[in-house]
Amino acid sequence: MPKGDKLSNMRHSLAHLLAAAVLDIFPDAKNTIGPAVENGFYYDFDFKTDARGKEHGSKQITEAELPKIEQKMREILKTWKNFEGKEATAEEARKKFADNPYKLELIDEIEKKGEKITFYTSGKFTDLCRGEHADDAKEMQEAGWKLDRIAGAYWRGDEKNKMLTRIYGLAFGSKKELEDYEKQVEEAKKRDHRKIGKELNLFTISEAVGAGLPMFTPKGTAMRNAIVQKIYSIQKKYGYEEVWIPHITKPELYKISGHWDKFGDELFKVKGRESEFVLKPMNCPHHTQIYASIQRSYKDLPVRFTEATTVYRDEQTGELLGISRVRAITQDDGHVFCAPEQIEAEIEIIADIIKSFYTSLDMYKEGDFRVLISLRDEENSEKYLGTKEIWKKSEEILENMAKKMNLPYTKALGEAAFYGPKLDFMFKDAIGRQWQLATIQLDFNMPERFGLEYTDRDGSKKTPVMIHRAIAGSLERFLSVIIEHFAGAFPFWLSPVQVKVLPVSEKQFEYAKKVFDELKSADIRAEFDDSNDTLGKKVRTAKTEKVPFWIVVGEKEVLEESVTLESRDKGKVGVLSVKEMFQTFPTF
């Protein structure tokens, strides 16, 4: 959510209100920071430390106390009108928060930066704050909000610091929006990819292997392969070529690319007998070296590399979630090396691949997707590679392309990659949540850092432009989104089992097996149910497993050399010949 908009300001104001209520009920608590976040707000508290940083034995709260705190918030809110700001000296600020070591640390930091120190007061509550609040407390009274849950959070996000108590709240512009969101959350619980993944036997996470390192069963692997094959089949006509790279590298590669500084503690380091290596967190630096392995001329460009390969990042355990946030990340990766005059055509090609792929999932529909032009935050330019001029040029190219391709776009300040701006494709799932999945990233910086070249028409040496692209992105995260979007009822091309063959009894096994073999020969992912269960139970199992089609084979079908085809989505299709059965299956 953009800082400073009306909803964000209201959520920030509610964080102040939460702090006021907590301190009223628990005067020994120390309030730290409380920002607006997506869907609401939070505030972090220390319920156990005194002004000297020592434990004083104060109680730790539980979620059972949230109703009491929320009630106190509503009582206090009746006494609030607006927020009044006031500048203060560092000395005044330290005096005001003398018993709060967290606020004192923030004051020291603000003073060192030479920034203004400001207090904001509403009612009897005053907090150290930069501003951006609701203009009128009535906005908070009319909004839809509630306290949601409690979690642990390290002070300043650093696990070396003290663990604080974070209280989360939900907040929306109206009570109706809050109700709609809560319904969405309940529906999301039913669709949770961890629950459905277990029910459909798609993946497993073992303590013996480690958190964030999922393993995929034959069914889950079939889905992963189907995704990669679908993307490869679409992009093949555009001249993409597959490459392969090792999973480790010397640290110097990532020091040149900038990933060493960017990923820092997220890098897995590998100690060899003579040298130190790192597990790759990204593939692009490796791909630059394949490009650089031979001399290139303008006639060779564009060069288009693609690879589905795993990268590794040492994510904190508390941030891991099923297969949506993992340590082993399989990227559907691609890199284009081209001349500047080829940029627009290459972006159009990638956008066309994205359109084709998401059309096959019925997700590329007007109103169900949008594009973010992810830009650099100029106020924090030290976070990015390259010059201001290069960034301005890159960002203008992407915006012009978004207009040319009639993409529904908005700008997102500060969301660029550290080496270049992006077109991030956002897709809406079945219950209305937005997910960033595909991306096109324009990079003038990395080719220059690696000294990449091509010989131009006039014989001069030029630096190519690099376009990073992902269609599905991380296969693990993509699958988590798709499992929840379809609630396990996948389209035919993606289903781990596409057809189940259900013989009524052992008498039909021979003919049913013949049909099954024909399905397998046609590369249909089929299963043969040779259990002793009744036909009714076999059908119920196929429905529970959300198989797109199942074939019933009884005495009549054996005599007629036919099958009875039933569909998950359309019910009974009818009695068909085997040839007619194949013609019934979706083609894409």
List, by residue number, the catalytic residues.
284, 313, 331, 333, 335, 422, 468
Tell me whether the omega of the peptide bond preceding residue 302 falls within 30 degrees of 0, making it cis: yes
Q: Are strands 369-375 and 248-249 parallel, antiparallel or unpaired?
A: unpaired
Bridge partners, 152 (sequence order): 165
Cβ contact 541:529 at 8 Å = yes
DSSP alpha helix (H) spans, 292-387:
343-359
Cβ contact 7:173 at 8 Å = yes
Cβ contact 188:297 at 8 Å = no
Select from 407, 417, 321, 345 the least CA-distant residue to 377.
Answer: 417
Count CB-CB contacts under 10 A for residue 325: 17
First to last CA, the chain: 37
With a CB cutoff of 8 Å and minimum separation 6, the contacts of 340 are 465
- The 3-state DSSP class for residue 178 equals helix
The structure tokens listed for 333 are 């990766």
How far is Cα 485 from Cα 194, in angstroms, rounded to an integer? 13
- The 3-state DSSP class for residue 245 equals coil
Select from 300, 307, 302 the least CA-distant residue to 337.
Answer: 302
Q: What are phi and psi of 527, to 5 degrees?
A: -130, 145
Return the residue matching tokens 């003290």: 162
Return the residue matching tokens 């324009």: 442
The structure tokens listed for 142 are 């009319």
How far is Cα 478 from Cα 481, in angstroms, rounded to an integer? 5
Select from 316, 246, 317, 243 the least CA-distant residue to 279.
Answer: 246
